[in-house]
Amino acid sequence: MIKTPTNQKLLTNVAVVRMKKCGKRFEIACYKNKVLSWREGVEKDLDEVLQSHTVFTNVSKGEVAKKADLTKCFEETKGDQTEICKIILAKGDLQVSDKERQAQSEAMFKDIATIVSDKCVDAETKRPIPVSLIEKAMKECHIAVKPNKNSKQQALTTIEKLKEVISLQRAQMRIKVTTPVRTLNKIKKLLTKLEVTTESEEENDGEANLIILMDPGQYRNIEELVKSETQGAASVQVLNLKEVNDEEEKLK
């Protein structure tokens, strides 16, 4: 009977995260697809990410790191393997095969294109832009995905680059600003500086309603400014998250 050495622990079907420190290699064994979820804050349960709270020098061979090396190289943890796992998980390099890397890259590329399609419309017609057209434009711009950044962040920078090759803009959000008439002029001056579009304005019983079209990214700023400028007397209400000229929608 062949015994496995006591400093070896064999694991299968793992995602390996590697870090080099003090001239030595340290690895941890994680569940596939969980590392990025942890880094993005989606997964918070460490046991759902780590296959073992053990630090290795080589996961595939099951070689466990020596306690003396861990204590020396990760002094701040006093050799606590769980805390060391967290450091490696946050700062280490995720090891994936070429095939997995390509699949992840293709999936992220499509995810970014989908987000761009959802957030944008054709600048001239205000109609939605198909994901396939966004993907084609991304290839023309030679946009490469960055696996260490989430898709939403990359989509926002991609939008600016795509403006060079296709006619697109962020879909506008429609809001209603309700304010006492006495503060109406102050609100209108504020909105003029923010370069939003005022669709309509009406007054009734000492109260004024403004219907505004704006970039969704401005919403929080506008809400805070409107409330602070009127000491909370004015309010902001979202009417449409996305103003799109979609003829098919109108036919339904």
Q: Residue 23: name the closest of 72, 80, 82 by CA.
A: 72
Q: How far apart are CA 226 and CA 60, in angstroms?
A: 58
pTM: predicted TM-score of the whole model, two decimal places: 0.55
Q: How far apart are CA 166 and CA 55, in angstroms?
A: 49
Please name the residue ranges forming H helices in the chain. 35-39, 67-73, 81-91, 98-119, 131-140, 151-162, 184-193, 219-229, 247-251
Identify the bridge partners of residue 212 per DSSP, sorted by sequence position.
Answer: 175, 198
- φ, ψ (nearest 5 deg) of residue 54: -120, 140
The domains located in the chain, with CATH, are 15-95 (3.30.1250.10), 98-169 (1.10.10.900), 172-251 (3.30.70.240)
pLDDT tens string, the chain, 252 residues long: the values are 444 444 555 555 688 999 999 999 999 999 877 888 888 888 999 999 999 999 999 998 889 999 999 999 998 888 899 999 999 999 998 887 778 778 888 999 999 999 999 889 888 888 889 999 999 999 999 998 887 788 888 998 999 899 888 988 888 888 899 988 888 888 888 888 887 888 888 988 889 899 988 888 788 888 888 888 888 888 888 887 765 554 433 333
Q: Residue 190: name the closest of 210, 173, 170, 217 by CA.
A: 210
**pLDDT the model gives residue 249:** 38
Q: Is residue 158 packed enough to be buried (19+ CB in 10 Å), middle (13-18) or exposed (0-12)?
A: buried
DSSP helix/strand/coil, 202? strand
**pLDDT the model gives residue 65:** 93
DSSP helix/strand/coil, 251? helix
Q: For 63, which DSSP code?
A: E
**pLDDT the model gives residue 6:** 47
**pLDDT the model gives residue 231:** 85
Q: Is residue 95 packed enough to be buried (19+ CB in 10 Å), middle (13-18) or exposed (0-12)?
A: middle
